[in-house]
Structure 1
């Protein structure tokens, strides 16, 4: 064989290989590479979109947290105010009840004092009658001397 013929034959086979590769092998590889590049670009775009949505969601979450904190602070302040109002009302009611109890106790004490005075007057009158009886050494009739005993009670 001739080296020139071998070289020409190899050049023709190489050219056929290049044509076959360009016609049948290269397009599917190029298509696969293009699809992969497109998927990567879509993935990057969706990642950017997700990142922006995440930042928006984080902002909304922070706003909601701030709003919740403010609302809870307002509710806590309202509850404290209501508690203070309830305490003040309870104190006022307790003071009023205390005044009523004191007034009732004073009335009762006054009644007991009057009752005790009456009892004491009766006892003093009875002792005076007994004393007069012993002084006179005779029996004194209480029915006859009722007017005298009434005046004695009023004087005491």
Structure 2
């Protein structure tokens, strides 16, 4: 009978232990496990959200980089076109300035030629008068023969 009483006593102690564990020990353990599972689930969802945000941010960055590259290429093309235009304008201005300088030089040369012709005419007229004086052996008065001298100048 002592085996039965020991068995019953052990059964009662076991049932009390099961009841005590179910009442006081098991709920905090399950609560801790549930909280841990919830934290893990939250962490996984946050990681998924972060991964999606990262993919979205990478896509936006790529779009912005593409836009920046396009903008930079456009600005570079505009700058090259503007530089070419400025070069063409400078060539045009230089050509115009060269034409003006050439025209001024031609006009100055023409004036110098006219002055040289006038000086040559005066010298030829003076030589002609001197030659006539020597031929006639008398002095020719320039004021008296002004018309004759002017006609001689124009003929030369």
TM-score w.r.t. length of structure 2: 0.86
25-34 vs 58-67, which moves further: 58-67
**5+ residue gaps, structure 2:** none
Distance, in Å, in 2 between the alignment partners of 1:17 and 1:74 is 82
Look up the match of 2:103. 103
The CA distance in 1 between the partners of 2:39 and 2:121, in whole Å, is: 118
Runs of 4+ in 1 over 6 A off after TM superposition: none
Unaligned 5+ residue runs, structure 1? none
Give 1:23's aligned residue: 23
- More displaced 10-residue stretch of structure 1: 95-104 or 134-143: 134-143
Alpha-carbon separation, structure 1, partners of 2:123 and 2:36: 124
Cα deviation, residue 113, structure 1: 0.7
Task: Give the whole-Å Cα distance in 2 for the aligned partners of 1:98 and 1:28.
Answer: 101
| Residues 95-134 of structure 1 mapped to structure 2, 5 A cutoff | 95-134=95-134
Aligned to 1:73, the other structure's residue is in SS state helix
Q: Does residue 145 of the first structure (1) align with residue 145 of the second (2)?
A: yes
User: Aligned residue for 1:71?
Assistant: 71
Report deviation, 1:87: 1.7
Q: Distance in 2 between matches of 1:63 and 1:20?
A: 63
Q: Does 1:49 find its partner at 2:31?
A: no
CA distance in 1, matches of 2:79, 2:38: 60
Q: How many residues align?
A: 155
Q: Give the CA deviation at 1:102.
A: 1.3
Q: Tell me the residue number matched to 2:89.
A: 89
Deviation at 1:34, TM superposition (A): 0.3
Aligned-pair CA distance for 1:90: 2.0
Give me the whole-angstrom Cα distance separating, in 1, the residues matched to 2:11 and 2:131: 168
Greater shift in the superposed pair: 100-109 or 30-39: 100-109
- Asked if 1:58 corresponds to 2:58, the answer is yes
Q: Which moves more between the two structures, 116-125 or 134-143? A: 134-143
